[in-house]
């Protein structure tokens, strides 16, 4: 299969490249330096040169607060860039997988969001990703739109890494406890995406590790699993942080019950967190903790 990947240097994208490579697979991943997805001509030329059968689009302007202060760039990359990729995919008859976000929802619900729930983004970032979804739906017939959330992985900045660094630096840890979501290990999601692109399970799916927690609970678990349980950590309300973009207070994602999806089987987030900590050499006593919980 010939697979074109956008965003291959990112937290998810770097795992996607590993998951997609295999015998007989041809994977091409231009970097942002090689190809700006907001450059329409460059996107079309890339498709014409590589003629992919599948395109996996994981490139985005992901700085949520940056999007709020620079909506022009957010729209150029997340909406226009996605539109160009979708049009180019349709032109060469490639199937398209687009990675989207829990931030398309406003978080007023108190039960897990399903793919058909009405989106209502609270931020420029969320609105730009939702507009990207619409471009994909409107321009390609064979597509998978995969909404995920709260990613952590070896190749990028994320809350888990920040918490460990701050704990080691003896810095005070204050983490919000009034936002609830589903943490997701980039490696687990990438493996599931590599599977789904071999199927014809077209449509919009939700894909996260199992279970849910607050950011505070995620940070506490990371400290415990990494042998830093004695680090002082305090829960705070989101209102204490003055950030440009609003975040949904609740953004747990699920798929409709009884529907067969390759994303249903992603392991619980605590197990995925332990695997991530092991990957980055920070798991300490974590296995015993997981066994005790079971």
Ligand X SMILES: NC(=O)c1ccc[n+]([C@@H]2O[C@H](COP(=O)([O-])OP(=O)(O)OC[C@H]3O[C@@H](n4cnc5c(N)ncnc54)[C@H](OP(=O)(O)O)[C@@H]3O)[C@@H](O)[C@H]2O)c1
Name the minimum Å distance from CB 87 to ligand X: 16
Q: Are strands 213-214 and 151-152 parallel, antiparallel or unpaired?
A: unpaired
Of 37, 67, 272, 277, the residue at the interface with ligand X (CB under 6 A) is 37
> Of 149 and 219, which has the nearer Cβ to ligand X?
149
273 CB-side CA count, 13 A: 30
Number of residues in contact with ligand X, rule: CB under 6 A?
27
CB 188 within 8 A of CB 147: no
Does residue 60 bind ligand X (CB under 6 A)?
yes
Neighbours of 40 (CB within 10 A): 16
- C-alpha span between 249 and 1 (Å, rounded): 40
Give the x/- contact pattern for ligand X in 116-135, rule: CB under 6 A.
-------------x------
Alpha-carbon span 287 to 284, nearest angstrom: 8
Tell me which of 13, 121, 210, 249 binds ligand X, using CB under 6 A.
Answer: 13
Q: Does 149 bind ligand X (CB under 6 A)?
A: yes
Site for ligand X in 168-187 (CB under 6 A): none
CB of 130 to ligand X, least distance (A): 11
CB of 23 to ligand X, least distance (A): 25
Is 98 catalytic? The answer is no
Stretch that binds ligand X, among 29-37, 40-48, 133-141, 257-265 (CB under 6 A): 29-37
Footprint (CB under 6 A) of ligand X, residues 188-247: none
Looking only at residues 40 through 59 of this chain, which bind ligand X when binding is defined by CB under 6 A? 58-59
Choice between 14 and 226, CB closer to ligand X: 14
Q: Quote the CA–CA distance of 143 and 54 in Å, as a whole number.
A: 9
With CA atoms as reference, report the closest residue to 55 among 17, 4, 2, 1. 4
The single residue among 3, 4, 5, 11 that binds ligand X, judged by CB under 6 A, is: 11
Per-position DSSP letters for 59-114, written without gaps between them: -----HHHHHH-HHHHIIIIIIHHHHHHHHHHHHT-EEEEEEEGGGS-S--SSPBP
| Cα 204 to Cα 189: distance, rounded to the nearest angstrom | 15
Which of 84, 125, 185, 250 is catalytic? The answer is 125
Question: For ligand X, which is the closer residue by CB, 48 or 232?
Answer: 48
Task: Label residues 75-99 b or e (16+ Cβ within 10 Å = b).
Answer: bbbbbbbbbbbbbbbbebebbbbbb
**Which residues are known to be catalytic?**
125
The binding site for ligand X (CB under 6 A) comprises 6-7, 9-13, 31-32, 36-38, 58-62, 77, 81, 99, 101, 129, 148-151, 156
């Amino acid at each position: 299969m010939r697979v074109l990947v956008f965003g291959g240097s990112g937290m998810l994208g770097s795992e996607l490249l590993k998951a997609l490579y295999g015998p007989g697979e041809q994977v091409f991943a231009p970097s942002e330096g090689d190809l700006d997805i907001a450059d329409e001509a460059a996107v079309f030329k890339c498709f014409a040169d590589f003629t992919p059968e599948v395109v996996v689009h994981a490139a985005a302007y992901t700085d949520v607060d940056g999007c709020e202060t620079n909506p022009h760039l957010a729209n150029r990359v997340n909406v226009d860039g996605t539109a160009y990729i979708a049009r180019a995919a349709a032109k060469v008859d490639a199937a398209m997988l687009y990675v989207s976000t829990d931030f398309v929802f406003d978080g007023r619900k108190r039960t897990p969001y399903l793919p058909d729930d009405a989106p209502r983004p609270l931020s420029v970032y969320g609105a730009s990703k939702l507009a990207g979804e619409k471009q994909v739906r409107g321009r390609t017939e064979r597509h998978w739109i995969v909404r995920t959330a709260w990613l952590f992985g070896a190749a990028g900045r994320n809350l888990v890494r920040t918490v460990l660094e701050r704990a080691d630096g003896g810095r005070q840890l204050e983490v919000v406890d009034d936002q609830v979501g589903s943490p997701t290990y980039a490696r687990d999601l990438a493996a599931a995406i590599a599977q789904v692109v071999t199927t014809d399970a077209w449509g919009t799916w939700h894909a996260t590790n199992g279970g849910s927690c607050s950011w505070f609970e995620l940070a506490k678990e990371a400290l415990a699993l990494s042998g830093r349980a004695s680090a002082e950590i305090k829960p705070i309300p989101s209102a204490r942080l003055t950030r440009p973009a609003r975040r949904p207070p609740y953004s747990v994602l699920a798929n409709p019950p009884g529907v067969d999806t390759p994303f249903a089987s992603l392991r619980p987030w605590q197990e995925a967190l332990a695997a991530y900590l092991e990957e980055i050499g920070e798991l300490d006593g974590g296995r015993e903790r997981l066994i005790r919980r079971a």
